[in-house]
Amino acid sequence: MLVVEDDRQIVRTLRTSLQARGYEVLAANDGTTALGVLRSDGVDLVILDLGLPDLDGLEVLTRLRTFAAQPVIVLTVRDSQSDKVAALDRGADDYVIKPFDMEELLARMRATLRRFAPDDARPKLRRFGHVEIDLEKKLVTRNGVKVHLTPTEYQLLVAFVTHPGKLLTQRWLLSRIWGPDYQEETNVRVHVGHLRRKLEEDPSNPRLILTEPGLGYRWAEDA
């Protein structure tokens, strides 16, 4: 993995902890170096600081997304909602705020890498409590009874269940389902409401599709 960070103390800490757990760690202390490493090396995960000496981390994220699909976890002191949304909209996979807890970072890393496992290595049948989704047969059941979903609702559900635990912004969901130019964010809320009514035991207290206030939604990983 690649750690993009200009704080040498943090790089040292991360390197020690990650190597002790068997991860191979490369480090870049500015954005330009990071982009160069990503162009030439096979890296499976990027941990990206936003406050870098040359390019802003968000700019690094935008540029790397033009050629790299590896998961990116942002690790930053910037804790405002607008910073989080900006990073997630630009393709970050998760967001961890400094000072960080190493165990939490490791858990997020494992979850992120799991999501990026090759698709055919993952079961086509996903079970979440009383709900079962067969991605091959495109069949959704609740307590064993078939649930009728509109094509849009099904696409939205697939976006959720193929990214368990990931914070998905409204804009990400919009562009994934309606295309990159679609702007009507209220639509996501409406369809999420429909999905909740059809799938949740108690739609007013959802356990499957969780709301992240001001940011978006997260499919509960261990529902």
CB of 64 to Ca ion, least distance (A): 17
Which is nearer to Ca ion, 79 or 184 (by Cβ)? Answer: 79
Residue nearest to Ca ion (CB): 51
Residue (of 106, 77, 102) closest to 5 by Cα position:
77
Which is nearer to Ca ion, 105 or 147 (by Cβ)? Answer: 105
Q: Which residues bind Ca ion (CB under 5 A)?
A: 6, 49, 51
CB of 81 to Ca ion, least distance (A): 20
Which is nearer to Ca ion, 56 or 185 (by Cβ)? Answer: 56
Going across the sheet that includes 167-169, the strands are 167-169, 216-219, 209-212
**219 in Cβ contact with 166 (< 8 Å):** yes
CB of 52 to Ca ion, least distance (A): 6
Hunting for tokens 């649930």 — which residue is that?
147
Which is nearer to Ca ion, 6 or 132 (by Cβ)? Answer: 6
Instruction: Report the largest interatomic distance among the alpha carbons of the chain, rounded to a whole angstrom.
Output: 56
**195 in Cβ contact with 153 (< 8 Å):** yes
CB of 77 to Ca ion, least distance (A): 8
